[in-house]
């Protein structure tokens, strides 16, 4: 699937909202298609939106029941915190909620030390992971977004991180939770977590993601909302009003665009020749769906271009047989693998019978005789010429 910006339309696009944030983006959560952008690739400090990546690595490197222990360094971390005590233990499950609702800086340090041994090594892991998922303009130097040795990212990269994180149900459960209670080793002290994201209370269908604030970064927010099964992700960095601007971006997307399912998963695309198969062809089907976002009222020109591989038997059902390119209005906007609908067995090699062998031998002998006959005839002609020359004697010159 290719992440695309919205192409030039044959109709007038809806007028986008007046966004004052230093950088902003609106992205389709499934495809990564960009519906709106303002300075999307300008590096900015992300503040606590950094914790999206911290949460990703927490989910990928722990089990929910794993126990994390706070070091003195973690407990001494300032800013928004869980008020961890040195030696306090907390499950990875509860720590995820502490990161995403309370924005616990001390919890981030505990996560970093548990997974990588130090915050520095963990920040290196964060940067590598960002590059892996396509967030190429991001550098992490700490795990929580604090100003000391600050991180750098972009609106586009943060949206891509949020898209990636949303593949984890546990992440989605956490970021759309308005309030919850966690278990603390210290008993009932400081167990109620209230989500800092006021967007959850102000926009219908809001389901995430993460706030952030420092003096250099200003007010930042990575938002998400879902209407009728369609999810959008937005980012505003250094915004004068994160709730108002995020809501404006979401309304712009949901009210003026719609998702077009260009290809369905399992859709029949064509037939592929099968070399040495009991069947000469096999049906190719799209392994995954291809979706594209278009303005309301737009009727794009859609072209499906299958690229089949040379395949031979035996062929298993579900084996790759090519790729499908999806082109809209003259440019490629997506792709899907093509797979075989059914298996195809290899045709059995036929053993030649005695008659076939006899015909083969006769043809071979005939070829040899003809070849040899030609050679003999040529030798005879050369011999006759030499004999005539001898009979003419030494004085017979032409």
Q: What's the CA angle centered on 98, arms 95 and 102, to 5 degrees?
A: 170
Query: What element of type H or E holds 9?
Result: none
Q: What is the DSSP string of 24-62?
A: EEEEETTT--EEEEESTTS-B--GGGGHHHHHHHHHHH-
Instruction: Name which of 349, 379, 216, 260 is nearest 6 in CA terms.
Output: 260
Joined together, the tokens standing for residue 124 give: 């290196």
Known catalytic residues?
Answer: 48, 51, 103
Q: How far, CA to CA in Å, does 169 sit from each of 21, 195, 310?
A: 30, 18, 39
Q: How far, CA to CA in Å, does 110 sit from each of 48, 66, 92, 136, 244?
A: 16, 12, 10, 26, 34
3-state DSSP percent of the chain in helix, strand and coil, to 5: 35, 30, 40
* Total residue length of the chain: 398
Bond prior to 69 in cis (omega within 30° of 0): no
Q: How many CB atoms lie within 10 A of CB 158?
A: 34
β-bridge pairing 206-214 and 218-227: antiparallel
């Amino acid at each position: 699937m290719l992440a695309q910006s919205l192409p030039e339309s044959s109709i007038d696009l809806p007028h986008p909202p007046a966004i004052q944030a230093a950088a902003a983006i609106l992205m389709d959560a499934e495809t990564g298609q960009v519906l709106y952008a303002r300075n999307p690739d300008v590096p900015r400090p992300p503040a606590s939106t950094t914790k999206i990546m911290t949460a990703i690595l927490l989910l990928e490197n722990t089990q929910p029941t794993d126990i994390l222990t706070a070091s003195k360094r973690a407990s001494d971390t300032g800013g928004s915190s869980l008020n961890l005590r040195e030696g306090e233990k907390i499950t990875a499950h509860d720590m995820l909620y502490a990161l995403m609702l309370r924005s616990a800086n001390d919890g981030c340090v505990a996560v970093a030390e548990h997974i990588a041994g130090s915050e520095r090594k963990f920040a290196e892991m964060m940067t590598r992971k960002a590059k892996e998922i396509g967030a190429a303009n991001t550098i992490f130097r700490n795990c929580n977004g604090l100003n000391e040795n600050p991180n750098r990212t972009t609106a586009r990269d943060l949206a891509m991180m949020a898209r990636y994180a949303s593949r984890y149900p546990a992440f989605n459960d956490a970021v759309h939770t308005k309030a919850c209670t966690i278990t603390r080793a210290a008993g009932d002290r400081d167990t109620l977590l209230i989500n800092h994201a006021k967007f959850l209370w102000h926009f219908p269908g809001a389901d995430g993601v993460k706030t952030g604030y420092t003096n250099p970064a200003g007010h930042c927010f990575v938002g998400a909302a879902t209407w009728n099964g369609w999810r959008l992700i937005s980012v505003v960095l250094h915004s004068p009003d994160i709730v108002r601007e995020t809501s404006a971006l979401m309304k712009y997307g949901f009210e003026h665009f719609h998702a077009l399912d260009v290809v369905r998963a399992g859709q029949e695309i064509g037939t592929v020749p099968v070399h040495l198969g009991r069947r000469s062809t096999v049906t190719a089907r799209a392994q995954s769906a291809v979706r594209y976002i278009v303005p309301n009222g737009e009727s794009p020109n859609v072209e499906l271009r299958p690229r089949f591989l040379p395949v031979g038997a035996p062929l298993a059902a579900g084996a790759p047989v090519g790729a499908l390119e999806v082109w809209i209005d003259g440019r490629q906007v997506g792709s899907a693998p093509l797979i075989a609908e059914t298996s195809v067995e290899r045709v059995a090699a036929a053993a030649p019978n005695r008659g076939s062998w006899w015909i083969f031998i006769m043809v071979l002998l005939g070829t040899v005789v003809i070849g040899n006959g030609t050679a003999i005839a040529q030798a005879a002609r050369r011999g006759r010429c030499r004999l005539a020359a001898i009979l003419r004697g030494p004085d017979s010159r032409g």
